[in-house]
Structures are given as structure tokens and as C-alpha cells.
Structure 1
Amino acid sequence: MQLTVARIGRAHGLRGEVALDLRTDVPQERLVVGAVLATAPATAGPLTIAHVRSLHDKWFLTFEEVTDRTGSEALRGVELLVESTASDEDDAWYPHELAGLRAEHVDGRTLGTIAGLEHLPAHDMLVLVEESGARTLIPFVRAIVPVVDVAGGRVVLDPPGGLLASDVANLVISDETSGPGEA
């Protein structure tokens, strides 16, 4: 299985350099001169890293196959891929490990299935397809996702009220209102 280590962003300069949107915690290991990376879409690559630099937590690359700004602009949105290896961290999972897991509430109810993981600026979000078919983004933080049991095929969620689409569907609006002066 291949994993995305970065998504190519905007062109930077005139000689084919591109900015990266990183998807790896170890770019210094994955993005090295001479590395040949597969791409998604596959027609954009493979790409061979010619030069790497980082500046203020931003990463920039040039590729042997791309030598000008026009070529680098054409790569915008292309994903750089590596072959997956098992994670050696206790609390780190690859998106393909999470997809398909059963989502359970802390009280034991089945909520739906995890469809994937989205990387947003603040933090990662689990994509939950609820039993109703609704697609809900769940912040992937320990307070809301206390258990990830890949071997057991499940994640346990402790969502705050109103986060799930099923919470909204179960709201009951009372018609018992009293206007001014009514008892």
C-alpha cells in the first residue's frame, strides 16, 4: 500500500521549485535528494528529488524531471507517495488502517463506519459515515476518540452533544411555549 507523504502546492520561483503540504511527521527521512517518489495521479511521475530545503517549517523541492515554473505549476495538487510500513508508534495510525473501522459510542451503541481521515489545519478529522448515511467529521483528539482498536476493528467515540447528525435528528422541538402574560 502506498501512503501520501506530501501534496505539491504552489510553484516557487522560476526554476521548478514547489512548496509542499506535508503529510508525514518525518520529512527529513522521506524527502531526500535522489529519492524516487510515486505520484497520484500516476501519470505525473515518478518524480526524482533533485534538491530539498526547508524554511520556517515549510518544505520546498525541485525534481530532476521539472526544470521550470510552467512544469512545477502543472504539478500543483499531485500527491507524493511512498510504500507503507507499519507504524511503530502506539498512538499513530495510517489512514488506510482507520478506513472501514466500526465506530462505537462509549455507551456501546454502533454509530457507523470510519470512511477515512481528512487533514485540516487545526488537526486531523475522522470521516464518520453514520448509520443514517450522514457524513460527519469527528475531531481526531483523545478526548473525543479515546480508543482506536485496529486489531479489534473499531474506534470508540465520546462525542459532545450536537456533533453527530443523529443528535440533530433526535432533537424534539416542544410546541409548549408560553407567550407574555400566559400562565
Structure 2
Amino acid sequence: MSRRPADNEDLICVGAVAGAFGVRGEARLKSFCAEPGAIADYAPLWTEDGREVAVRITRPLKGAFAARLSIAATREEAEALKGTRLYARRERLPSLPDDEFYHVDLIGLPVIDAGGAELGRVRAIHDFGAGDILEVTRPGARPVLLPFTRAVVPTVDLAAGRIIADPPEGALDAETGPGPEDAE
């Protein structure tokens, strides 16, 4: 029987099921890990609804892995899991150097400028292929996308719960700056 993690346990999304693979119950598993194949090392994983998932990678695929999941024995069960996010307990994940962060730790943090004025809050982190981008929501204004580089984001202070940013000129123009919907 699965044991749902306690509500206070810190879970981090490490992958998602992208559908079935083949006809024998394997799933196509998309890893969000820096070392994609390490996803199985962080097991047991958990679904959002609290099911424990054992994972065994069977082969690499382009941009994913074929994997056996303990919650899918047939192709139909694997296909029904499409879109299911998989989470690992934080203590199972590797410690990060001071200049690296788990996305979940940044989402919701206030973004302030060097003068202390709040620019908004991190809503999401995107990677469209050229590096991480912070999506920052602002009250009464269009969200902005800021490159997550040292030049634009010189300080991430998790202890103080804030991000200090130096946005490029024009990035915060209320209605004229590019929004997240323009990035795709």
C-alpha cells in the first residue's frame, strides 16, 4: 500500500509522464533533472494525488526515457497517466552549490530592484532553449520575462526570501514590454 508523504514534507517535481511507450505497459518519462537519468535514483516518487511510484528506466528515448512505473502495468494504464507529474522528497535530491537553485524555491519570491522597490513576484521559470527566464507578475501590469543571468539577477537571497534584479532598460514598460505569451 502506498504511504502518502506527510503534508509538511518538501516535494519537488522531477519529471512527468508523457504517455505510453510500446504495448507492454512502459511509459514515456520526461525528466526535469539536471542529470536526466538520475530521476530513478530519487525514487520512490510521488504523484500529486499521493500515490507512491517505483521507477525503473528501461531505455533512453529522444528527450525522454522508456520506464516501468509501479502504477502502470498495461499500455492503457500508462497512457492514462499522461501529464502526471512526479515528485521526489527534497532530502533525496543532491545539495546544490550556492549559485544554483531549485525552481520551486524561487517561485513566489518577491523581485526587488537595487533601491528596494518591489518589481513583482516570480510566477514561473521557463527555458525556451537559451537559458532560464524568470516570469515576474506585477500588480496592475503585464507580467515581464527577465533573463536569469548574473547581469539581470545579481542576487538570489533565499534566507531573506527575495531576489534582487536589475532589469534591462524598457523591460518594465507596463504595456509595451514583451509578455510570456509573446515568448513562444
Q: Same fold (TM over 0.5)?
A: yes
TM-score by length of 1: 0.74
The percent identity for this pair of structures is: 30
2:181 corresponds to: none
Q: Which moved more, 1:100-109 or 1:65-74?
A: 100-109
Partner of 2:112: 104
Q: Which runs of 4+ in 1 moved over 6 A?
A: none
SS in 2 for 1:30: helix
The letter for the 1-side match of 2:163 is V
**Aligned equivalents of 1:106, 1:67: Cα separation in 2:** 54
Match of 1:71 among 64, 69, 77: 77
1:7-156 aligned at under 5 Å gives the runs 7-32=16-41, 35-42=43-50, 45-55=51-61, 58-85=64-91, 87-106=95-114, 108-156=116-164
- Which segments of 5 or more consecutive residues in structure 1 lack a partner in the other structure? 170-183
Determine the C-alpha separation between the residues in 1 that align with 2:173 and 2:67.
41
Which deviates more from structure 2 when the two are superposed, residues 149-158 or residues 102-111? 102-111
Asked if the contact 2:40/2:57 (under 8 Å) is kept, the reply is no
CA distance in 1, matches of 2:108, 2:71: 37
8 Å Cα contact 1:6/1:21 also seen in 2: yes
Larger radius of gyration: 1
Unaligned runs of 5+ in 2: 1-9, 178-184
State the AA in 1 paired with 2:72. Answer: V
Equivalent position amino acid for 2:64 in 1: K
Write the letter of the residue equivalent to 1:6: G
CA deviations on 1:74-105 (whole Å, 9 max, x unpaired) are 11110111111373311211233213322122
CA distance in 1, matches of 2:134, 2:65: 26
Q: TM-score of the superposition, structure 2-length normalised?
A: 0.74
How far 1:116 moved relative to its partner? 3.7
- The CA RMSD over aligned residues, in Å, is 2.8
